[in-house]
Amino acid sequence: MSADVIGFALLLLGAVLLVAKWIRVRVKLAQTLFLPAAIIGGFLALLLGPQVLGRIVSALGSDALAEGGLFTAPVLEVWSELPGLLISIVFAALFLGHSLPNPIRAAKLVGPQMSVGVAFGAGQYVVGMLLAILLLVPVFGISPLSGALIEIGFEGGHGTAAGLGSVFGELGFPDGADLALGMATVGIVSGIVIGVGVINWAVRTGRTTVLKGGLTQSVEEQKGLFRRDEQYPAAIMTTRPASIEPLALHFGFIALAVMIGYGILAGLQALEQALWAESFELFEYVPLFPLAMLGGVLVQFVLDRTGNEHILNDAMMLRIQGLALDVLIVSALATLSLQAIAANLGPFLVLAGAGVLFNVVILMLLVPRTIPQYWLERGIGDFGQSMGVTATGLILMRIADPDGRTPAFEAFGYKQLLFEPFFGGGLLTAAAMPVIAAFGPWPWTIVMAVLFLLAVVSGLFYFGRQDWTTPLRDEPAGAPPAPPPATYGGSQA
């Protein structure tokens, strides 16, 4: 494939994102649902591609657009490869630019938050695996790997689903990649819709601490824009451009983290082949991105210990993450196989419905009893993350606590340090399918059930009974809304 084709495919993605942003600004429904431009753009590219427009034109008697729709087959081929590459960039940058706190202090600060997060993550596996064992495998004849789809699509999001695409194929469940992407789309849309509905209900019934009298959003917020008096710097310059462009420096550290992750993965695979590969293979199927995240942690650790942590800026990392994630989502949705979803529509609807119901139950029943103070402001972020991406959780927290007056953002951010390495694309997510394929569905179900019960019991009978009183932060009269705070894993996929 020529460099011109690759370059043109990337330019097309930029154009699609611009059109999608215009739709967000102009279409009231897109504003009401708080749909990110990447989701809109992905659906737009899917509709204009071979699976929708191409088939419609073919049905009318013309094969002119059958191969690629409005796009060419080589462009679609480039797009199909991008998600697996970009997800490593997203995860490598998760912890770069953040000084790593003392793990013991972080655990004490966000114990209740961690309990809720693990309940969401492990519980999604329990629900999915039990459905696969009791219903999906015996009735629909689908692979037991389908039990992992809820956590991969909901907690992991589009990036994780796309990053695990090759693993689905290698383990004999190729349709799983498209089902996971479809699940991620259901999760992010329903997460925003349900989350906004829950916030409205909480405001009307007096269950919120900050918002009183009703939920209102400015025209700019609905369109996803800033007023001129709200604008703030996107990042901070940490080096002089005469020596190196700061953006290039930050990208270089991300590249270093990815290469360290690649080295760790290659070493683990070689060790596995030398010692136990004949009986069980795990690292052969583990994708690169969770190890790239570990590479980022190691790079940041070295910078912290050598006193050079100031050369990386967390906001700059978030911008790079955001760019990679937007391009990833558009390209992943544009190449989504509707045929695979249609062929497995029954299992897909069962898993999606059960996942949404489970998350709502956890939010409404467990969260208030685990986080008695500011439960809505703090819990709505974990709910949003468990339904799509970290950005969804941040959006919902910004709606519930627009000025950052509660400790919601701080607790959520530190919780990510302990949570991200394992769930939502971390090591447990990466290990789930190889373990299920090697040992069957029951061992993984039992392990996740134990984790879920530990999270629920600790939340109800320990954290929920402690005095976690935190004063509400005062805002100066007439102060403009504070910029979104940097949080660990701000663009999780």
Q: In this structure, is residue 374 part of a structural domain?
A: yes
Closest to 312 measured CA to CA, from 410, 420, 239: 239
pLDDT for the residue numbered 10:
94
C-alpha atoms less than 13 angstroms from C-alpha of 458 in its C-beta half-sphere: 16
Residue 107: CB atoms within 10 Å: 15
> What tokens appear for 349 in the block?
């609807």
Residue 84 lies in a domain: no
What type of residue is 171?
A: L
Q: pTM here?
A: 0.77
Q: What is the pLDDT of residue 364?
A: 95
Cα separation of 186 and 179, whole Å? 10
What is the residue range of 439's domain? 99-176+189-214+256-308+344-465
| Distant-in-sequence, close-in-space partners of 474: CB < 8 Å, separation ≥ 6 | 405
Q: For residues 239 and 37, give the distance between their C-alpha atoms in angstroms, rounded to a whole number.
A: 31
Closest CA to 33 of 191, 166, 237, 150: 191
Tell whether 17 is covered by a domain: no
Q: Are 386 and 415 in contact (CB under 8 A)?
A: no
What is the C-alpha radius of gyration for the chain, rounded to an integer number of angstroms? 22
Residue 75: exposure state from Cβ atoms within 10 A (0-12, 13-18, ≥19): buried
**What pLDDT was estimated at residue 51?**
84
The verdict on residue 399 lying in a domain is yes
Angle at alpha carbon of residue 376, lines to 95 and 483, rounded to 5°: 50
Q: Is residue 304 part of a domain?
A: yes
Torsion sign over Cα 2, 170, 154, 140: positive
The residue behind tokens 């989504």 is 336
> Would residue 67 count as lying in a domain?
no
- Domain annotation covers residue 329: no
CA distance 462 to 311: 40
For residue 330, which of 15, 5, 33 has the smallest C-alpha distance? 15
**Exposure string over 76-105, b if 16+ CB within 10 A, otherwise e:** bebbbebbbbbbbbbbbbbbbbbebeeeee
Q: How many CB atoms lie within 10 A of CB 476?
A: 6
Of 345, 71, 384, 67, residue with least CA distance to 197: 384
- Give the pair of three-digit tokens for residue 241: 């451009």
Query: Degrees (nearest 5) of the Cα angle 298, 299, 300?
Result: 90
Within 10 angstroms of residue 220's Cβ, the number of other Cβ atoms is 13
Query: What residues in the chain have per-residue pLDDT under 50?
Result: 476-493
HEC profile of 364-393: HHHHHHHCCCCHHHHHHHHHHHHHCCHHHH
What is the SS3 string spanning the chain?
Answer: CCHHHHHHHHHHHHHHHHHHHHHHHHCHHHHHCCCCHHHHHHHHHHHHCHHHHHHHHHHCCCCCCCCCCCCCHHHHHHHHHHHHHHHHHHHHCCCCCCCCCCHHHHHHHCHHHHHHHHHHHHHHHHHHHHHHHHHHHHHHCCCHHHHHHHHHHHHHHHHHHHHCHHHHHHCCCCHHHHHHHHHHHHHHHHHHHHHHHHHHHHHHCCCCCCCCCCCCCCHHHHHCCCCCCCCCCCCCCCCCCCCCCHHHHHHHHHHHHHHHHHHHHHHHHHHHHHHCCCCCCCCCCCCCHHHHHHHHHHHHHHHHHCCCHHHCCHHHHHHHHHHHHHHHHHHHHHCCCHHHHHHCHHHHHHHHHHHHHHHHHHHHHHHHHHCCCCHHHHHHHHHHHHHCCHHHHHHHHHHHCCCCCCCHHHHHHHHHHHHCCCCCCCHHHHHHHHHHHHHCHHHHHHHHHHHHHHHHHHHHHCHHHCCCCCCCCCCCCCCCCCCCCCCCCCCCC
Tally of residues, the chain: 493
Packing angle of the helix pair 314-334, 73-92 (nearest 10 deg): 150
Q: How many domains does the chain have?
A: 1
Residue 279 CA neighbour count, 13 Å, CB half: 3
Q: Is residue 74 part of a domain?
A: no
Note the pLDDT of residue 472.
63
